[in-house]
Structures are given as structure tokens and as C-alpha cells.
Amino acid sequence: MPSQNTLVDHLVSSRTIKSPVVEKVFRRIDRKLFCPADLPASYAYQDSPAGIGCNQTISAPHMHATCMELCKEYIEKGGDEKRVLDVGSGSGYLTATFAALLVELGKTGKVYGVEKYPELAKQSVKNIQSACPDLMPYINITSGNVWEGVDEGGFDVIHVGAAAAKLPEVLVTALNKGGRMVIPVGGQNDVQVMQVVVRLEDGSIKKQDLMAVRYVPLTRPGEDDLYLY
């Protein structure tokens, strides 16, 4: 019978999940509880994206796991209080997983989710309250533009769950020294790549292209054009 554990077993055996702490939080946060209620378990626990309404998707589990592994060390190292930004937070799944990671690593702070569709933002809060209510003190989800309801700057980790046509300078500037952003970059008709951006201790920026990906576009609230900065 498909379950969260069988899904995580697959991600571990494929070496997508490498660290015990990431495995632990993925076993804790049940993906099906962040998918539409009528989605069969056989599909919710597949390593595939799934529609969540508003022409948006919850990413394939291997992409979520990859992003979490890339971000883990930047939450783990340094001080105890961490600020994480999840742009395009959708159903709230990865936002909740980031919060669970903070707890497992003994950190304080907040995970800020920003979702352009108010109905998805509202549903994501309900999802988290149902699936893992103890994590709510670590989470703040707002709807609207990237900065609506979020203090500018000062993030240790930024995850972007939709493809920007070009690297958003406003998000690069928001990274703390020693911070990391994981973001898909590329237009809908172009090759998209998962890009890792690190702000080094001297303030300079290091970028690395990891892999080809396919994400929905990062757009302005109320608009369908690519969100260009």
C-alpha cells in the first residue's frame, strides 16, 4: 500500500535523500495531507508533481528532497535563529517541512511562505494546522507579492518554487552573508535550470547551475506574465 514511508524509502534508495535529518522530516510531513482531498493515495505518494488548483502544482517529491538537502547545511550552521523564505509556497508542504527541519536541528526563527493565490495561501494554513499544528508558531504564510507581509532581507535560506525568467536581484540582495538560495531560472519556452546562489562571507555572490528542470512560471499577483525584476 503506498504511503509516506514507501515514498521516502524510494527517495532514500535513490540517494535523493542523503542525510538522516532530512529523512526524518520527510517521514514526518505526510505529502497526501497537502494534496487535494480527492487525489488517490496511489498518486499522492508517487514521485510526480500533482495539481493543487489555480493551475499550480506541488512539485515532485524528488525535487523537494533535492532542495531540502541543498538548504539543510545553511540552516544547520551558524547561529540558532534562522529565517527561511519559501516563495510560491503553494499547498504549504515544503514550508512545513522547512519548519520541521528547524525543530529537528534545534533552531529557532521563522519560515515565511509567500503565495500569490489567496485561496491557496488560505488552504495551506489549513493543511498545516491539520497535518502538523505544533509547527504553526514557526510559520508565517501570506498571499500576494514576494514582499507582502514579509520584512525585507535577512534570510539564511530562500527557496523559490516557480521559475523566474531571470535571477531576481531583489531575492539575491535579501540573502544574509553565508546564505543560500535555490531557484529555477528560465522562461516557459526556454531551458530552465535549477540554480544555487550563495552569498559568501565577503558579500560576493557565487552561482551554480545544477540540472534542467520544468516549473510553472513565477508571476505577479493578478498577472500571467513572467515575474521580471
> What are the backbone angles phi and psi of residue 131, rounded to the nearest 5°?
-80, -40
The closest of 97, 99, 96, 117 to 107, measured between CA atoms, is 99
Instruction: Give me the DSSP letters along 60-117.
Output: PHHHHHHHHHHHHHHHHSS-SEEEEEEES-TTSHHHHHHHHHHHHTT-EEEEEEEES-
CA distance 69 to 165: 24
> Which entry of 13, 19, 48, 59 is annotated as an active-site residue?
59
The answer to whether the CB of 152 falls within 8 A of the CB of 174 is: yes
59 is catalytic: yes
- Catalytic residue numbers, as ranges: 59
